[in-house]
Structures are given as C-alpha cells and as structure tokens.
Copies of this chain bind each other. A is one copy, B any other.
Amino acid sequence: MLNDRHFMGFVANTSINLGLAILAAILCAYIAPAAAGSGIPEVKAYLNGIDAHSILAPSTLFVKIFGSIFGVAAGFVVGKEGPMVHTGACIANLLGQGGSKKYHLTWRWLRYFKNDRDRRDLITCGAAAGVAGAFRAPVGGVLFALEEAASWWRSALLWRTFFTTAVVAVVLRGFIEFCRSGRCGLFGQGGLIMFDVNSAKNSYSSADLLAVIFLGVIGGIFGSFYNYLVDKVLRTYSIINERGPIFKVLLVAAVSLLTSCCSYGLPWLSHCIPCPSYLEADRCPTVGRSGNYKNFQCPAGHYNDLASLFLNTNDDAIRNLFSSGTSKEFHLSTLLVFFVAIYCLGIITYGIAVPSGLFIPVILAGASYGRLVGNLLGALSDLDTGLFALLGAASFLGGTMRMTVSLCVILLELTNNLLMLPLVMLVLLISKTVADSFNQGVYDQIVKLKGLPYLEAHAEPYMKNLVASDVVSGPLITFSGVEKVGNIMHALHLTRHNGFPVIDEPPLTPAPELCGLVLRSHLLVLLKGKKFTKQKTMAGSDIMRRFKAHDFAKAGSGKGVKLEDLDIKEEEMEMFVDLHPITNTSPYTVVETMSLAKAAVLFRQLALRHLCVVPKTPGRPPIVGILTRHDFMPEHVLGLYPHVVNRHK
C-alpha cells in the first residue's frame, strides 16, 4: 500500500509538471519563439545595436512572463532571473516605442523616446530593473546592466539605471512589508535579502585561502565545461526545434519527464537521517511548503536529505545549501548525486522552448559543488560548509558568466555577508581567469550561436593589416541631391540597404561632392508624403512645411512605413524629389587608406550604423563606399582575406 501511495504521488507530480511544461512550451512555440531561453543574450545583442524585430515585441513579453511562471512551476531546473531581465527590457521597449498600437495601448507623451539613444537607455534601465527585482539587488542590477548588458555607457545612463533600481528597491520593499504577514505565500519570506548567510566565524587562515583558491580553479574549469556543453546541446536542439513547433513541444515534454523522474526518483537513493536533537519537532521534519528538512518516505523524526534539495523550490534548495552551522545535514553522497543531477539537468534544460534563466541552475550546481568540497576539505579548513557553498556558487557563476563586479555585488546583496567579500572577489577572479583560457562567456557564446552580428569592443589584431576600402563590399548606390522618384523606388526595391549617400552634382556645385547620408526609413516617409516636383529644383523649405519632425522619428521595431505601403503612380515615377531636407549632412567619414582597426574603433565607440569611406585622391567620385556593422564581422573580413590572420603572425 505504501508503494502504491508513492507511485500515485509520482504520477501526480509528474503529470502536473508535464501539464505545466507543455503549457509553457505551447505558448513559446506557437506565439513567441523569441521568448525561449534566458533572454539576456538577446537584450545584450539589442543594446549592441542589433535591431531584430521579435526580440522585444509585446507577444514576447506576454509569453516570457507566463512561460517563465509555468516553466519554473513545472519543476524544471531553470531560473526566473534571465526572463525577468528580458521582461524588464520588453516593458521598457514598449514604453520606448510609445506603447503598442496593435493592442491599443499608446501614450502620446512617450513619443519623446522615439530615437535610438533614448530607447537604448530605457531598455538598459529595464534590464537593470529586472536584475534588481529578481535578486532584490538594486546595486547589483545597476552593475549588471553596466558590465554585461550595455555596450555603451555614459554617466547619465549610470544615474538613470540607479534611479530605476532605487524605485524598484522601494517598491519591492513596500510589497515585502505588505506581505510579511504571509498574505502573499512565500513572497514575503527572506525579506530584502534572499539567502541570509550570517556566520559567526569571519576570520580565515592561509589554509582556508588555499582551499578557496583550489575551489576557484576547479569551479572555473567546471564553469567553462558547462558553457561547452550548453553550446553542444543548443546545436543539437536547434536541429530538433527547426523541424516545427510540435517537435519543440515534444522536446519540452521529454525533458520534463526526465526532470520529474530525477527529482522524484533520486531521493530514494538516499537513506533516512534522524533529525538533529537540538531541533524542535515542528522544524524537523518540515511541515509546510518550505524548510530545511523534508520527510519524504522516512519515518517520523527522520528526514531525507536528497529530497530536501530536490523536492523544494529552487530558492529553498539554495537556502539549504548556504545555511551555516549545518555541516552534517547532507551526506557526501547526497551532495554528489545532487550536483551531478543538477549540472546535467541544467545543461539539457537550457535551449528547450521554455523561458529559462541560467543563474539559478548555475548557483544550485555551484553551491552543491562548494558544499561537497567543503565537506571533503572539512579537516583542512575551518570555514563553514555554508560559506563553501557560497564560494562554490561564486566560482561557477564566474566560470560561466565571466562577470566580476556585478556578480560580486549581487552575491553580497543576496547573502548579506560583507565580511566574506574579499574571498568572494578572489574566487570570482580566479574562476573567471581559469575559464577565460578555455572559451567565451555563456551569453557571448549564445549570441554568436544565434548568428547575431555582435560588435566586439576591441578590433581584431589582423584588422591592422587592412585598410577601410579593403572591406567595402557590393556596388554602391548613390542618390543625387534632387533625385528622380523612379530611381529611388528602384534602389529601394533592389537593395535592402538602410543608408544611401547623397551626392550634390553640377550645376548645384562646381564638382560632385558628398552631401551626406539619407536613411531608408526617412526616404519612405518622404515618398509617402508625395511632395514631388516636375523639375529638378531644390524645394527644401516647401517640403519641410509638409512634415513635422516627429514624422521622421524612429518607429517601433517592425513598425513604420513599409515599401509595400507606397503607392507611387507611373507619372510620379518621372518626377523629382529634393533629398536635402532629410539628409544627414555631417556623416562620420574615414579616408579609404585608414587602418581598418581604427575604423572599427571609430564605428564601435560612436555606436554608428553607417560609416562613409571617402577617397584619398581627388578626381574620383566623392564616396568609395559605406561600411556597416556586417563589414566588420570577422567572418566577413576573413572570408575576403583568409590569409590575413597568418600574415599577422
């Protein structure tokens, strides 16, 4: 009968998990595929200037929120932190594009954000708010946005993100205060500090330092190996996921079943342990939803240590692992089993069609690894095993994500243990250094895997051997200052370029000269306005009376005038339009003989989308070509000049 009851429990547990998982997968696969995964790589890419439509769309926001709730509830080894960053960024984007026309949520005053820079600032603030909310770490949120998310940083942005996270902190604090009475379930628990680690013992010897260095080195290796495996698994999954939404759902179902089997099956491997004598009966075994000691299949007064980790919320499992003064609570074998299971489940779970953060799996694996090392080195070191768990989590985070200051502050705000700061810093530095010698950080790796043209902060060394004109590609399409409508339409149909040089020619000027750069989106607005002239004359002021400045404001991603929306008649095709009013007459330029490395630095530092290459010698057309983000990608450059790397050596 006992076996029957446990089997019923297993069936109930598994089927509820499976149901929630399939729900999350359906949302994700059919409504917004962009909502799968962590979201941090996507936000990072967006802030680098990659304007992919679906990354921050309202549908992604909706699926991210509910998919994440269902995914976490389904018992997957996933976190809610990455999705919360993405959610914050999506909300910021919604505000930045003035609300959503599709869903009839628009505000007029938000039109002031309709430009690249302010929108980027808003989204950075959104990402910071996400971290601040997820970890209850306002300063950590600012630093995360600075170190990991943003590609460009200004002091004004520092101040804005700080303001955002301060508001988050005050609001969060209010909610926690309101919920302290237990009205909101587990939300009020833990207060502002999620995993309070207050250890009486704050001093450490040089033997402890050695132990910590060892922990950091091995943690770095495990972390980079984690990245390696995540990359492999993602490549495998992408083959499955490409075959259609139904395959995505099936993959999720399979992983959900595996997870349920592990979390319900593995605790049977563990033996029952009698409760510590100093604890009262109502604290061990635990009654209620959360707590250190889970009874599972054990008799009264005993607990199953593996069940205390598996059959708990992820937050509670971390809290158990971090708890101090409980070095005997978990068996060595329990920690080993839990570590291996979480490490593997974390890797195979990332990449399925469910919003899934990486922080929690990495912290869980790291904390169990740290506690394991702590138990093994117990004889050598005086440090508490809870502290070892904290340092282990730090080493894994450093090894996978490769952040330093932000992780340090987030861990500080998570655990409230300021005195361990030097050790946490040391571990992070060591594990990051070790892991950096193997591969890239996990988010950079995912950005690369998705094929997004991410612009690195530094120029590649081989770029010093090339000049700007070497990588200019394709036939250049230029417009005259006053251009025939038909030519413009032809060019817009023919190419997908987003910027075109405008050249003033005789008789307007004595010789052809570069007037500036015109954007596709502005051209479309201008053509839609149909302010054409029969003759080739400058009608600038006339045109500007027709338009207002905000007509040319940057529309929401995927919005704005489209080429198909234009309805130009045959006779209009032969008419002329004056491009001067919409031409940017101060485009950044480089001479064709400029070193490509220096051009790349210019492009990156000024956050450009187009860089004009002008000829060095007179008597030639006034522009040689336009460099865009794609022209600086290593794949493009090395495709053109495969031997340039060797030349450098």
| Interface residues, chain A, with chain B CB atoms under 8 Å away | 138-139, 142-143, 146-147, 153-156, 158-159, 162-163, 165-166, 169-170, 172-173, 177, 191-193, 202-203, 209, 404-405, 408-409, 412-413, 416, 418-419, 421-422, 425-426, 429, 432, 457-458, 509-511, 513-514, 585-586, 588-591, 593-595, 598, 601-602, 605-606, 614, 616-619
Selected from B154, B421, B618, the residue in CB contact (under 8 A) with A138 is B421
Contacts of A193 in B (CB 8 A): 418-419
A-B pairs with beta carbons under 8 Å apart, 21 shown = A138-B421, A138-B425, A139-B412, A162-B404, A166-B425, A166-B429, A169-B425, A170-B209, A191-B202, A412-B418, A413-B418, A514-B616, A585-B595, A586-B593, A586-B594, A588-B598, A589-B589, A591-B614, A602-B602, A602-B606, A618-B619
A595 to B584, CA, bound (A): 10
Contacts of A412 in B (CB 8 A): 139, 418
Q: Across the interface, do A422 and B169 meet the contact criterion of CB distance under 8 Å?
A: yes
Q: Across the interface, do A155 and B457 meet the contact criterion of CB distance under 8 Å?
A: yes
Contacts of A173 in B (CB 8 A): 422
The residue of chain B having its C-beta at the shortest distance from the C-beta of A160 within the complex is B404
Contacts of A418 in B (CB 8 A): 192-193, 412-413, 416, 418
Contacts of A162 in B (CB 8 A): 404-405, 408, 425, 429
A143 to B142, CA, bound (A): 11
Q: Across the interface, do B421 and A169 meet the contact criterion of CB distance under 8 Å?
A: yes
Selected from B409, B591, B605, B618, the residue in CB contact (under 8 A) with A589 is B591
Given A155-B147, A409-B139, A429-B166, are A513 and B616 also a contact pair (CB < 8 Å)? yes
A468 to chain B, nearest CB (A): 9
Q: Across the interface, do B606 and A586 meet the contact criterion of CB distance under 8 Å?
A: no
A598 to B408, CA, bound (A): 37
- Give the number of copies in the complex: 2
Contacts of A139 in B (CB 8 A): 405, 408-409, 412, 421, 425
A94 to chain B, nearest CB (A): 25
Contacts of A513 in B (CB 8 A): 616-617
Q: Across the interface, do B511 and A404 meet the contact criterion of CB distance under 8 Å?
A: no
A432 to B457, CA, bound (A): 32
A413 to B416, CA, bound (A): 11
Contacts of A409 in B (CB 8 A): 139, 409
A305 to chain B, nearest CB (A): 30
Contacts of A408 in B (CB 8 A): 139, 162
A202 to B196, CA, bound (A): 14
Contacts of A594 in B (CB 8 A): 586
A619 to B513, CA, bound (A): 13
The residue of chain B having its C-beta at the shortest distance from the C-beta of A595 within the complex is B586
Q: Across the interface, do A617 and B511 meet the contact criterion of CB distance under 8 Å?
A: yes
Q: Across the interface, do A142 and B405 meet the contact criterion of CB distance under 8 Å?
A: yes
A340 to chain B, nearest CB (A): 31
Closest A-B pairs by Cβ, 10 of them: A618-B618, A166-B425, A169-B422, A586-B595, A162-B404, A605-B605, A586-B594, A586-B598, A416-B418, A173-B422
Q: Across the interface, do B177 and A421 meet the contact criterion of CB distance under 8 Å?
A: no
A510 to B413, CA, bound (A): 67
